[in-house]
Structure 1
Amino acid sequence: MKTTFAPSTTRRMLLVLGSVAAMTVPAATAGAATGQAPHTPGQGGPRGGCVVAYFDLGETLVHTADDNSVRYMPGAAAHLRALRARHIPVGLITNVPSSWGATDAERAAKLKETVNHDWKGSTPFAWADFGDRIFTPRTEAERKPAPALWERAKKAADGCRVVYEAETDDEVEAGGSLGYVAYRTGQEGRPAYLPAAFIAALAHLPGAASAEAAGSGPRR
């Protein structure tokens, strides 16, 4: 059973979201998939759908300085905390050498080792938030902007709405063309990241699944 909304409720939601939605790739919202039922309140609550927020890594969540040290981008740690507080699952869609491992888990382990080795921030990177939702190229042909990583990440979201945040127009456009609500980070005069409240609200828009439906939430 899917959630239904009274026309007045839907109009109020769209008005609230409109100012932020204008900053996202328009094609992404129209292409967002119907979701499965969540099991945590941050994925939409007892009558909402579910959403998963994916990110690029370099220069989106972390910055590599001239001395090769790595630390959070401004606002990134706070953004991840805000998503964590709403129980919104997060993931990475990021290019690394395919030679780093035969599986996503092996390449993710090498990525963590590399970032941690050069990390200079006072707060460690929040790897635990991402779980096994770290998608990296199995072959060099899968490297972004090829669609393979976005497609694999979307499939792993089990039908939940998907968000993608990155610092470059080409990646935002690619994610949007594949059904993500896509947002370019670090734009002057705009929020550094898509507000957590907006991401959470996406789960409630018409088309997102109800928690009353049978099924599983995104892979954790």
Structure 2
Amino acid sequence: MSAAAETERIAPCSARAFELERGDELVVIDPEGQQVSDLVAFSRDDLAEYLSSGRSIDYASKLWLSAGDQLYSNRSRPMFTIVEDSCGRHDFTLTPCSKDTFAIIYGETDGRPGCEGNLAQALAPYGIGVDRIPIAFNVFMHVSVDAETGTIAVLPPRSVPGDSIRLRAEMPLVVALTACSAGQSNNFRYKPIDFRIDRARSA
């Protein structure tokens, strides 16, 4: 890999979008602990190909993916390989929070955009609107599932300050990341998310 890149910060309740080349490594960091980041990705060569929770869970045969696992597209092609993971617990089942999430679950009426709206805003330059935001890879999210009833609960993340996950891009990608806006996902303390892109060396 190239020399250490600069770490960038995503402000609480916001999102960023950027591009990766094949071989680049994306490091997502929780600087303060217990903060979720929603990650979505699209093939840069064809934006109709996107990161798929269903394919990724199916091929890994498990709900929670970590180091050594791959994240697949809707066309069953690897998009990311998880290279390192100091937290070990992420979620790939729940959709990005939205203004409807806040109204239905929290009873809010102020219409915050949530991760869905923030992702759509960050991806707008690529022509990706809100209806094309898929289920995200919810970095650092902690969702429990009752083995008997299937009941789920969103619990405080297990991440501590400085925890990180490193993902290697397996194709050219358009990626968007959030600092999640849902109270259950961050123990009701809205905090930033840091990220770094370690670029692959040119041939």
Higher strand share: 2
TM-score, normalised with respect to structure 2: 0.30
- The structure with the larger Rg is 1
Which is helix-richer, 1 or 2?
1
